[in-house]
Amino acid sequence: MNKIKVEILFPEFCNLYGDIFNMKYLQKCLLDAEFINTSFQKIPRFVEEDITLIYMGPMTENMQEKVIDKLTPYTKKLKELINNGTIMLFTGNSMEILGEYIEKEDGSKITGLSIIPINAKRDMMNRFNCLFLGERKSYEIVGFKSQFTMCYGNNENNYFAKSKKGIGLNRNSKFEGYEENNFIGTYLLGPILILNPEFTKEILIKMGVQEPKLALEDDVIQAYKQRLGEFNSI
Amino acid sequence: MGRIKYVIALILARLAIIVLKLIRRDASYFPGKIAVTICPDFLGRIGKPEIIIGVTGTNGKTTVCNMINDILIENGYDVINNRLGSNVNSGIATTFISGATITGKSKHKIAVLEIDERSAKKIYPYVKPNFLVCTNLFRDSMKRNAHTEFIYNILTENIPKETMLILNGDDLISANLAPENKRVYFGIDRLDTDTEESHNIVKDIICCPKCNTELKYDYYRYNHIGKAHCPNCEFGTPEIDYLATKLDFEEKKLIINEKGQVQEYKMISDNIINIYNMIAVVTVLREFGISSAILKNSFERMKIVETRFEEETINNIKIIMQLAKGQNPIACSRAFEYVSKIKGNKVVIILLDDLHDATNSSECIAWLYDTDYEFLNNDSIKQIIVGGVRCIDEKIRLELAGIEENKIYCSKDEIEAVKQIELEKIDSVCILYDLYSMKLKEKIKKQVENIIEGNENSNE
């Protein structure tokens, strides 16, 4: 098996809400893997070399525009990687970068990379918060949403999780996030890999780990079960 | 029509104050809420004192306001404040109503107002502070405040043009608020404890906001507090007008260079956050016109209010209670670093659950991962006790900070958790608590006192 390489895009900026611990935790689960922190000034490593997983976390609205500019020259490459099955995990509003556009309150639009068929609409004075409980494959996903945007687009056949509690892409949607091949985009924030041991194992298996063993597995599973109980009872 | 709405709002709000007081309920928010609901521009119409001193910012607002109030009142100034009330528009409306005559004219000369950053849009169009202190801008509650860029924009778009700003020059985010306004900076000169590398997870300004070049930090104090400059343009730490040049922790003295005049004050706390708060107070009150001599006298008698910090010694073991503010990663990180540096061996008790979520929901724990639990990975901390519903989540976070599992004890029942305390060779027990868990804090404090006095079992 080739060495596992994980590229974290622009961690100095795309690091709101503790999301960067998704990668710190993954690193504890993958002690032999190479983790690459690609700063904003650098050319992403996925352009020139094989990367097992590309990760990008949430960022400020101003930064979204800069990241779109930064990644625009690599649009074709990103599309190719998604088509080829490279694993990607984009959390929070980072998924919007790959969408068609982000509409501001004044109606103006920021053009995205148009790799995935979604668009987002901002409402900066009304932040939306909710807990999320959803079904994914044979297990459940727990998490939190906190966002200025609502997202639109048909993801009925390409969702990350189907909502049991909390909203999907928008208030009228039951389908959360976007999944295509091994690309997963989700508005869930914070340390979702720590919160969701089953999902983390799924990611590890995708990455080629035969029998994944999680870091702090007993505690993480105990916390997951407790949270599932709480979310189901709310 | 506007005038009629205003009169109705004033009458009903006044009635609400009377009724709430009669039934002994909190009258600091609801009357103002009635007023601004009936008359949306109520804050613009109600009489206001001639001088308004506002205090905003992520951390330290309440402490700074309390100090300003105490000094002004002690020195005979006629002040109203929202000390006991809410810091959003409704609370401020209630404050003005309470301080006004029956016809709505202000009875006071000065208002000292704690002002919520997020409420800027609803307050500053009507309330124009003569002086506005911004203590700092940091990452705060994710659900409400999102990120510093969002709060910076709200403040910059709404702070009145005529307001004189009192800004923390060591904080490159808040130092650049409302760039057109007149401003005075406060700060602290380089300290021995400052570092060339950052030791925090969160740094909310990394690149120059003017040209996007990566900032060069001459030194970090904590998070993005420190001294930095852009290698490509003129952006950087400003020249500080009120600069603390010496912090003497042994003698508890603070030397401040006030625009060239050197003054010595009693240091009222050895916590760097409170030292910043104190310098902010000196700066705004000096600019307001109070002499250094008066300030010096007032600081000699001042103590940080006990809801934020308390210390006592029983049987040679110190009990230190420090407010940490759950869901506020910077406040918690500062508290963690503070207790980690207390001399001697320590037990740390963490009580940071959001009590509302613990009862009605399930707390979002993202903030744990913006918080530097790594400071608690320290040989002098012999045991960490975590109490509350989220204790397993915190245990995981502590373990990811590299803390050995056998040092951590956690229980959903806080009282049971504290019974596991091991006091052998311990010099201090540090209790870190949330703003909304005062009753719990008192219970835990009592429990710890009893254990130290031998009236109750511990795990010793």
Residues in chain B: 460
Strands B309-314 and B317-323: antiparallel
Residue A159 is classified by DSSP as -
- CA of B317, closest CA in chain A: separation in Å? 33
**pLDDT at res. B148:** 95
Residue B456 has pLDDT above 80, yes or no: no
Closest residue to B149, CB basis, from A12, A17, A60:
A60
- How far is Cα B153 from Cα B164, in angstroms, rounded to an integer? 18
Decide if B362 and A16 are in contact by the 8 Å CB cutoff: no
**pLDDT at res. B306:** 53
Contact call for residues B381 and B348 (beta carbons, < 8 A): yes
- B354-397 pLDDT, tens digit per residue, is 888 888 889 999 999 999 999 999 999 999 999 999 999 999 99
* Chain B touched by A65 (CB under 8 Å): no
> Which has the closest alpha carbon to B178: B232, B117, B224?
B117
- CA of A64, closest CA in chain B: separation in Å? 12
Decide if A131 and B392 are in contact by the 8 Å CB cutoff: no
- CA of B392, closest CA in chain A: separation in Å? 6
Decide if A131 and B364 are in contact by the 8 Å CB cutoff: yes
CATH number of B309-453: 3.90.190.20
* Chain B touched by A129 (CB under 8 Å): yes
Considering chain B, what percentage of its residues have pLDDT values greater than 90? 82
**pLDDT at res. B24:** 82
* Chain B touched by A24 (CB under 8 Å): yes
- How far is Cα A163 from Cα A142, in angstroms, rounded to an integer? 10
Q: Summarize the confidence of residues B409-438 as an average pLDDT.
A: 92
Size of interface A-B (CB pairs under 8 A): 89
Best residue in B154, B232, B392, B405 for a mutation probing chain A (most A CBs within 10 Å): B392
**pLDDT at res. B460:** 47
Residue B339 sits at φ, ψ, to 5 deg, of: -70, -30
**pLDDT at res. B307:** 58
**pLDDT at res. B458:** 58
Considering chain A, what percentage of its residues have pLDDT values greater than 90? 97
Alpha helices in B261-390 (DSSP H): 272-288, 292-301, 329-340, 355-360
- How far is Cα A88 from Cα A200, in angstroms, rounded to an integer? 13
Decide if A40 and B147 are in contact by the 8 Å CB cutoff: no
pTM over 0.90: yes
Range of the domain at A168: 5-148+155-233
Decide if B396 and A220 are in contact by the 8 Å CB cutoff: yes
pLDDT band, residue B138 (cuts 50/70/90): very high
Q: Summarize the confidence of residues B209-221 as an average pLDDT.
A: 92
The count of structural domains within chain A is: 1
- B328-359 pLDDT, tens digit per residue, is 999 999 999 999 999 999 999 999 988 888 88
- A212-222 pLDDT, tens digit per residue, is 999 999 999 99
- How far is Cα A68 from Cα B350, in angstroms, rounded to an integer? 41
> Which has the closest alpha carbon to A81: A5, A153, A6, A181?
A181
> Which has the closest alpha carbon to A196: A221, A167, A176?
A221
Domain B2-189+240-301 annotated CATH 3.30.160.270: no
Residue A234 has pLDDT above 70, yes or no: yes
Closest residue to B362, CB basis, from A12, A148, A231:
A231
Contact call for residues B429 and B346 (beta carbons, < 8 A): yes
- How far is Cα B386 from Cα B409, in angstroms, rounded to an integer? 6
- CATH number of the domain encompassing residue A122: 3.40.50.880
Contact call for residues B356 and B436 (beta carbons, < 8 A): yes
- How far is Cα A119 from Cα A102, in angstroms, rounded to an integer? 6
Quick one: B270 exposed, middle or buried, by C-beta within 10 A (0-12, 13-18, 19+)? middle
* Chain A touched by B207 (CB under 8 Å): yes
Tell me how far CA of residue B171 lies from CA of B15, B85, B215, in angstroms.
Answer: 44, 28, 13
Considering chain A, what percentage of its residues have pLDDT values greater than 70? 100
